[in-house]
Amino acid sequence: MAKENKKYKDSVFCDLFYSDKNAEKNLMELYNALFNENLTDVSEIRKVRLENVLFMDMKNDVAFTACGKRIILSEQQSTVNPNMPLRMLLYIAREYETTVPGKTRYSKTLYRIPTPSFVVFYNGKEDQPAEKILKLSDAYIFQEDSSPELDLSVKMININPGKHHPILKKSEILRQYSEFVDRTRRCAGEEKGLKDAVYGCIRDGILSDYLERKSKEVINMLMETYDYEKDIEVNREEAKAEGKIEGKIEGKVEVYYTEMHMSVKDIAKKAGISVSQTENILIRAGLLPRPL
């Protein structure tokens, strides 16, 4: 297993289910809730963490194995990301590459690997169903095959209290985390409000043991998470604006080529972009053949 990369900041979710002293116990409860199991030996839980796969700054991912037979890759998200199957594919490929001995890949004997499961715990503001499946094949350019040769499914579970997903009845730690997030979200990054919400949770028995030990650290993590999510929102808005600009440029390039019959070199000069960028735009538009 790859060593934990300490330069990443933990979210409360990751700390609760990965870094905290009770993380293995919490993971065992989560595992039992996900698979309707009754595992009681916490030593059967092994934490996994890989570097540079999901988030770059804020660690929200939690991965672990149970009994050496199943590997669960999960992440908490406050925004919907349709690219999670692709990211999970990269994650599991990296994990198998790390843990499977090189020589066994060429052995005549079948090498058994842990069965993978992929889960996203969603608790954002955007309305989403209690549960839905995200598939890698949804991203494929060609959709004509109902049984693609490679696919990967990610179960997205909405853990917002109002959605009443059954898993919240099976996992008390996840239910309390859900209630904790619902309360602290209302403070919108305001430190005094966060302190009041955290102390209110302690008073009401919501993650009380955890918060009594780590209240100051948790408040700092909540502030960092708020700043991180705001940064993502700003970046997305900037990306939308850039997309509109790129769309205008592509439209002009196509007009220059189809209606004004300009050469690629002249179009590039007039549009203020490189020749290769111009060619790529025309290829995507089907106006130039794709290189063999």
Query: According to the model, what pLDDT value does residue 6 have?
Result: 39
Q: Please state the domain count of the chain.
A: 2
Query: According to the model, what pLDDT value does residue 285 have?
Result: 81
pLDDT by residue for the chain (292 residues), tens digit each?
433 433 445 688 999 999 999 999 999 999 999 999 999 999 999 998 765 444 444 466 899 999 999 999 999 988 888 889 998 998 899 889 888 888 888 889 999 999 999 999 999 888 999 999 999 999 998 887 778 999 999 999 999 999 999 999 999 999 999 999 999 988 876 888 899 999 999 999 999 999 999 999 998 888 876 655 655 555 555 555 555 556 678 888 888 887 777 889 989 888 888 888 888 888 888 788 776 5
Query: According to the model, what pLDDT value does residue 4 have?
Result: 40
Task: Tell me which residue of 33, 26, 257 sits closest to 166, measured CA to CA.
Answer: 33
Q: Is residue 78 part of a domain?
A: yes
75 touches 61 (CB < 8 A): yes
Are residues 277 and 146 part of one domain?
no
Q: Is residue 73 part of a domain?
A: yes
Are residues 123 and 30 part of one domain?
yes
Are residues 114 and 249 part of one domain?
no
Q: Is residue 19 part of a domain?
A: yes
Are residues 124 and 27 part of one domain?
yes
Length of the chain, in residues:
292
Are residues 140 and 260 part of one domain?
no
* CB count in 10 Å sphere of residue 70: 16
Task: Find the domain containing 252 and state its range.
Answer: 244-284
Query: According to the model, what pLDDT value does residue 114 have?
Result: 96
Strand residue runs (E) in 123-210: 131-135, 153-158
Query: What is the Cα–Cα distance from 263 to 261, expressed in whole angstroms?
Result: 7
Are residues 267 and 123 part of one domain?
no
Q: Is residue 159 part of a domain?
A: yes
Beta strand pairing call for 153-158 and 115-122: parallel
Q: Is residue 215 part of a domain?
A: no
Are residues 161 and 51 part of one domain?
yes
Contacts of 142 (CB under 8 A, 6+ apart): none
Task: Tell me which residue of 44, 48, 33, 63 sits closest to 3, measured CA to CA.
Answer: 48
Q: What is the dihedral of CA 242, 244, 248, 250, to 10 degrees?
A: 70
Q: Is residue 211 part of a domain?
A: no
Task: Tell me the pTM.
Answer: 0.74
Are residues 166 and 97 part of one domain?
yes
Tell which phi-psi region holds residue 205, choosing left (phi > 0), alpha (psi between -120 and 50) or beta.
Answer: left
> Where is the domain boundary, 135, 153, 184?
184
Q: Is residue 21 part of a domain?
A: yes
Are residues 253 and 180 part of one domain?
no
> Where is the domain boundary, 136, 159, 184?
184
Are residues 255 and 122 part of one domain?
no
> Where is the domain boundary, 184, 200, 226?
184
Q: Is residue 199 part of a domain?
A: no
* CB count in 10 Å sphere of residue 186: 10
- Measure the CA angle with vertex 204, ends 198 and 208; round to 5°: 60
